[in-house]
Amino acid sequence: MSNLRYGDWHVVSFRLILALLILASPVVARAADSGVEGYTLGPQDRLMIRVHTLRKNAGEIYPWAALNGEFSVGANGSVSMPIMGEIPAAGRSTAELAHVISEALKQKADLAETPSTSVEVVKYRPYFVTGAVQQPGRFDYQPSLTVLQAVSTAQGISRAADLTGADREIIAAGGDLRVLDAERIALEAKVARLTAEVSEAANVTYPSKLIERSSDPRIARAMREEILRFEARREALKSEVEAIERSKILLRQELAALEVKAKSLDQLATITQREVQSVNELLSKGLTVAPRALSAESNRVMLESNRLDVQAATLRAQQSLARADRDVVEIRTKYRREALDDMATARSLLDQNAEKAQTSERLLQNAKLRANAFGDGIDDPIPVYELTRLTPSGPVTWTAAENEAVKAGDVLRVMLVYPNRRKSSASAEGEPASPPQAEAQLTVQPPLPKRSERSK
């Protein structure tokens, strides 16, 4: 020791003092809420764990790097750590968990001295608020949380202004239902008209449910408009078919004229052929000149060309007539195909309309229930708080006061009791009214547990 310099002596002394302080308390447990007593760990808690060992020979503190860091308490209530595996944590305090980790590491690593372990809660498991609050849900727990603070975190008790929101939802849902009903009426009338078009009926036949409500101006207007569309489309189809039929008449007349012309040309061809033969006989006997024979032959060739033209014109007229017949079929098929496509679309829209109507009806009923939940507005509601806490023996529920502590993992349910609602309905029926206390007792049934069970 005499070989140490004065400065080195002070460094060694400081390290020894620090080591002695650590050894004086071999297990150190800290929590972010050091002022909160009796906090027990549970699933979803996030912990900062630090493990160190004092090396006396070197006067240094050795950190167990693999065991230092953030760990979560799993669903089974244990913390999974390297080397040591699963360490039970649920139901223990941070100090108890630190002690368990130190002892487990000492045995696992066969250490002479117990390591120093610190456990700190860096994030608590959440608590839950439900019922008559502005924003129900899960919230991060904070130490020393009370029922009133938890309700404030959920944006407070549902206010009377919510009734206005429910009224708006009732009005909006009612308006949506009326729009959907008008759309359904129009679609049903359209399907009836398209059915008549597909079957080529003379008139539109509407379903009985529309006929029974024909006194409704909306239904009467929809039926009248579809009849007008039916007649307009029928007239359009009829006009197109009649136009083609007129062209077919002209084509038949043209064919008749060509037939007459063809017969005339045949007769003329026969006469011309005889003339050519006579001229050729006279020419062979020297009784006529060659130019006359050439003229007769030219007339015959020209006549044959005219006969071919008539035949070609006849073929063209026959093709046009066949095309006109095909056009009539295509036009009727097109109208029927359009009607079938429109019918499929209309039926699909009817199905969608039914789904939307069911959704709007459910929204309307929910809005009415919400509006009724706020009472008749005669008296302000009384908030009743119900806490549910998971204990080793199972969940326990009781009615809590505003200043009662809320623990991590608790479920706070807020209910609104209207003292005069039962009184008003009873008075209307001529029955004796129940007191406000009876209403509260009917609303909150679970008994108040013992203090020892609630603190677990």
> Is 327 inside any structural domain?
yes
**Does 269 lie in the same domain as 341?**
yes
Kindly state the average pLDDT of the residues 300-310. 84
Q: Please determine, for residue 447, whether its predicted confidence score (pLDDT) is greater than 60.
A: no
> Is 304 inside any structural domain?
yes
Q: Please determine, for residue 433, whether its predicted confidence score (pLDDT) is greater than 80.
A: no
Sign of the dihedral through C-alpha 341, 347, 348, 350: positive
For the chain, how far is it from start to end, CA to CA, in angstroms?
55
Q: In this structure, what CATH number is given to the domain that contains residue 394?
A: 3.10.560
What local confidence, expressed as pLDDT, does residue 411 receive?
93
| Alpha carbons 374 and 417: distance in angstroms, whole number | 9
**Does 230 lie in the same domain as 296?**
yes
What local confidence, expressed as pLDDT, does residue 310 receive?
86
pLDDT in tens, 368-390: 776 665 555 445 678 899 999 88
Count of CB atoms situated within 10 Å of the CB of 350 = 16
Give the end of a domain, one of 315, 346, 374: 374
pLDDT band at 352 (very low <50, low <70, confident <90, very high): very high
**Does 277 lie in the same domain as 353?**
yes
More confident residue, 386 or 289: 386
What local confidence, expressed as pLDDT, does residue 12 receive?
43
**Does 354 lie in the same domain as 232?**
yes
Q: In this structure, what CATH number is given to the domain that contains residue 109?
A: 3.30.1950.10
Ranges 78-82, 308-312, 332-336, 433-437: which has the least confidence: 433-437
Residue 162's identity, in one-letter code, is: D
How many DSSP H helices and E strands does the chain contain?
Answer: 10, 11
Which of 176, 185, 218 is CA-nearest to residue 361? 176
Q: What is the 3-state composition of the chain as percent helix, strand, coil, each rounded to the nearest 5?
A: 60, 15, 25
> Is 197 inside any structural domain?
yes
pLDDT in tens, 136-194: 898 988 888 899 999 998 888 876 545 566 677 788 888 888 899 889 999 999 999 99
Output the CA angle 9-10-12, nearest 5 degrees: 65
**Does 206 lie in the same domain as 332?**
yes
**Does 176 lie in the same domain as 305?**
yes
User: Which residues pair with residue 117 across a beta bridge?
Assistant: 51
| Alpha carbons 62 and 112: distance in angstroms, whole number | 14
Output the CA angle 216-217-218, nearest 5 degrees: 90
> Is 217 inside any structural domain?
yes
pTM score > 0.85 for this model? no
| Alpha carbons 191 and 232: distance in angstroms, whole number | 16
Q: Which residues contact 178 (CB under 8 A, 6 or more apart)?
A: none
> Is 40 inside any structural domain?
no
**Does 168 lie in the same domain as 60?**
no
pLDDT in tens, 207-224: 888 888 888 888 899 999
What local confidence, expressed as pLDDT, does residue 37 receive?
59
More confident residue, 430 or 349: 349
Rounded mean pLDDT of the chain? 78
> Is 147 inside any structural domain?
yes
More confident residue, 165 or 74: 74
What local confidence, expressed as pLDDT, does residue 348 receive?
92
Please, are residues 126 and 408 in contact by the beta-carbon 8 Å criterion?
yes
**Does 348 lie in the same domain as 257?**
yes
User: What total of structural domains would you count in the chain?
Assistant: 3
| Alpha carbons 286 and 6: distance in angstroms, whole number | 166
What local confidence, expressed as pLDDT, does residue 349 receive?
92
| Alpha carbons 307 and 159: distance in angstroms, whole number | 101
Q: Please determine, for residue 434, whether its predicted confidence score (pLDDT) is greater than 50.
A: no
Which residues of 214-271 form beta strands (DSSP E)? none
Q: Which residues contact 198 (CB under 8 A, 6 or more apart)?
A: 336, 339, 340, 343
**Does 179 lie in the same domain as 284?**
yes
Q: Please determine, for residue 432, whether its predicted confidence score (pLDDT) is greater than 50.
A: no
Residues present in the chain in total: 456
Output the CA angle 287-288-294, nearest 5 degrees: 150
| Alpha carbons 60 and 66: distance in angstroms, whole number | 18
What local confidence, expressed as pLDDT, does residue 62 receive?
79
Q: What is the share, in percent, of the chain residues with pLDDT greater than 70? A: 78
**Does 153 lie in the same domain as 102?**
no
Label the pairing between strands 127-131 and 411-417. parallel
> Is 14 inside any structural domain?
no
pLDDT in tens, 80-133: 888 788 889 888 888 888 888 888 888 887 777 788 888 988 888 889 999 888
Structure tokens of 183?
């759309």
**Does 308 lie in the same domain as 293?**
yes
Q: Which residues contact 154 (CB under 8 A, 6 or more apart)?
A: 129, 133, 134, 135, 136, 137, 139, 414
Q: What is the share, in percent, of the chain residues with pLDDT greater than 90? A: 17
**Does 282 lie in the same domain as 224?**
yes
> Is 1 inside any structural domain?
no
| Alpha carbons 257 and 313: distance in angstroms, whole number | 11
User: Which residues pair with residue 46 across a beta bridge?
Assistant: 72, 123
| Alpha carbons 150 and 401: distance in angstroms, whole number | 12
Kindly state the average pLDDT of the residues 17-41. 49
Q: In this structure, what CATH number is given to the domain that contains residue 228?
A: 1.10.287
Q: Which domain holds residue 342?
A: 164-374
What local confidence, expressed as pLDDT, does residue 296 receive?
75
